Chains A and B, each alone.
Chain A
Amino acid sequence: MVVRGLAGLAGLLAVLEVLPRTPLVSADYLPPASTIGRAFWHLLGEGTFWSALGDTLTGWGTGLAIAVLAGVAAGVVIGSVPVLRAATASTIEFLRPIPSVALIPVAVLLYGTDLRSKLLLVVYASFWQVLVQVLAGLQDADPVAQDTARSYRLGTWGRIRYVLWPTALPYVMTGVRLAATVALVLAVTAELVIGAPGLGQQLAVAQTSGAVPEVYALVLTTGLIGVAVNLAARAVEHRVLHWHQSQRGESQAR
């Protein structure tokens, strides 16, 4: 699996290497992979790069943790009580499409450029991803199982624990994977626009300086973090969902 994944990435690099040498796009604006690689290598030797990476990951990790906990908690409460679901649906749909970009002045106003303004944007964007997946997952619960639980006199908690939660879990995991990336994207975007310390801020400096290879090297870094995050999320998913249909076929082959 890892070998195949690396093959895919190698293919992407090959395309990147060849494309700038065609008349389609000039190497001035999209440098070939080797040039980006050199800039990337150069970055790895800089202390500022590592502290920026640490800042970005701190913002990402904290924001994601808050968003997942809050999203799951709110989702379970809202999703298990039909009245609440009906009462909150319109508000959720109203708040979700509001772009974090519009909240940037507010974030700066409240917290300047410190971690909290980054967290505000990250949590706002990724919370909805988790919440919506949790709600969808709870809705997908098997009615027969639900009735069985009722006839066995399982309480509300028991019903959530043994019936609703297992059905919702694959949805929740997809939600976490979606949210993990959205959180990363928002952390970098917040740094880019607000100037909070992190990879995004480095990116903004590279952009205004017209340092094209560095820009792409930083973009590549962000992408690679995304790949790492996904690997980690997949590992967690496999542990948590080993009993589920979507994972069963995979386990013998690993």
Chain B
Amino acid sequence: MQRRILGLALAAVTVAGVAGCGSSDSASSAASPAGDGKTTQVTVGVIPIVDVAPLYLGQKRGFFGSRGIELKMVTAQGGAAIIPGVVSGQFQFGFSNTTSLMLAQTKGVPVKSVVNGAASNGKVGADVTAVLVKKDSSIKSAKDLAGHTVAVNTLQNIGDTTVRESVRKDGGDPAEVKFVEIPFDQMPAALDGGRVDAAWMGEPAQTIAKAQGARAVASPFAETDPNLTVATYFTSTKIAQQNPDLVKKFNEAMTESLKYASEHPDEARQILTTYTKISGDVLTKLTLPNWPAQVDTASLEKLAGLGEQDGIFGGKKPDIGALFS
């Protein structure tokens, strides 16, 4: 009997493995210039978060299909996988926060932003990201963060530079804030367990933490600049030069998608259920970012200045005009 069970287990594993009842198609098609009536397969590297909802919504509404672009989304954990993918041409486009793109540019990574991604909604106290503390914490406002540990998802990036700005504006000493790196989804637990004094969270982590009683003491994006451009879609300089037609079409389709998503926030919220596992109460409560069609150059200059101040660009200066034009 036992031998039979073993045999069955063995058979099941082998069959599932060999039959490869998977969805992977090994053909990574390169983008060819889209002619009339021909579709181009375009792979976009994204992070499965709220900010990229317009892309999925635009795909569903046919804004890309009508321009001969067949989208394939690849969800990675972050820039570590997306940027190399775009640079090598495995992905034609990628989604990244703006500080990372500036970092890449100052280090000589051949990337170029092509269209806006997401922006702060400008509402202090109700923005897409917030610094949260426990209900009974002694921290009342941003300046109190000095001398405490604050969790951010990535060190030396958009999180800590904007949190420092919030502290600075509130009259505290940003140099006194100690940052520690914890993934967004682990932050509610770390905050609740007292492992960190405060945590800078995006969605849906902040909605989950607020439901557990956490309190917001700062809105770094809105406090840095109410129109802060947080993330954009980018491509490699090679594709930008060799295939301007494709870039133009992607830009047009994305611009239309951003506009549509801004006008139909409920549909944007609904599309989240197709590529994330956000559901129920969190889905109805979470804060949506703004999706303006254009990047806000002034806010990007400001963000670059903050990064320089914190020394994350290694003494170089990002060229906002060249990167985001």
Contacts and interface: CB of A to CB of B under 8 A. Distances in A.
B24 A195 contact: no
Contact of B277 (A26, A51, A109, A206): A206
Nearest to B15: A57
A234 interface: yes
A159 interface: no
A113 B23 contact: no
Interface string A213-254: 011000000000100110110111000000000000000001
Contacts of A254: 2-3
A249 B25 CA distance: 47
25 contacts: A2-B5, A28-B192, A55-B20, A57-B13, A58-B24, A62-B17, A105-B80, A109-B87, A109-B88, A112-B88, A112-B90, A113-B81, A114-B24, A195-B74, A195-B76, A196-B24, A205-B48, A207-B183, A208-B48, A208-B184, A210-B204, A225-B13, A228-B9, A235-B6, A235-B7
Interface in B7-63: 7, 9-10, 12-14, 16-26, 28, 43, 45, 47-49
Given A235-B9, A254-B2, 12 more contacts: A29-B188, A50-B21, A55-B20, A108-B84, A112-B43, A113-B81, A194-B76, A204-B48, A207-B185, A209-B204, A234-B6, A235-B6
Contacts of A29: 188-189, 192
Given A2-B2, A112-B43, A254-B3, A205 B279 contact: no
Contact of A210 (B14, B24, B88, B208): B208
B75 A204 contact: yes
A207 B74 CA distance: 16
Nearest to A26: B192
Interface in B81-105: 81, 84-85, 87-88, 90-91
B6 A232 contact: yes
B126 interface: no
Interface string A171-206: 000000000000000000000111111100100111
B120 to A, nearest CB: 20
A-B residue pairs, 9 tightest by C-beta: A112-B90, A61-B17, A55-B22, A195-B76, A54-B21, A54-B22, A211-B277, A235-B6, A209-B277
User: What does DSSP make chain A's interface, helix, strand, loop or mixed?
Assistant: helix
A68 interface: no
A225 B185 CA distance: 25
B13 A193 contact: no
A193 B74 CA distance: 11
B270 to A, nearest CB: 15
A173 to B, nearest CB: 15
A207 B179 CA distance: 22
A61 B10 CA distance: 12
A53 interface: yes
Contact of A232 (B10, B91, B188, B208): B10
Given A58-B24, A61-B18, A108-B85, A211 B77 contact: no
A211 B189 CA distance: 13
B28 A112 contact: yes
A164 B21 CA distance: 39
Contacts of A50: 21
A1 interface: yes
Interface in B153-204: 183-185, 188-189, 192, 204
A223 to B, nearest CB: 15
B309 interface: no
Given A54-B20, A205-B277, A109 B75 contact: no
A214 B28 contact: no
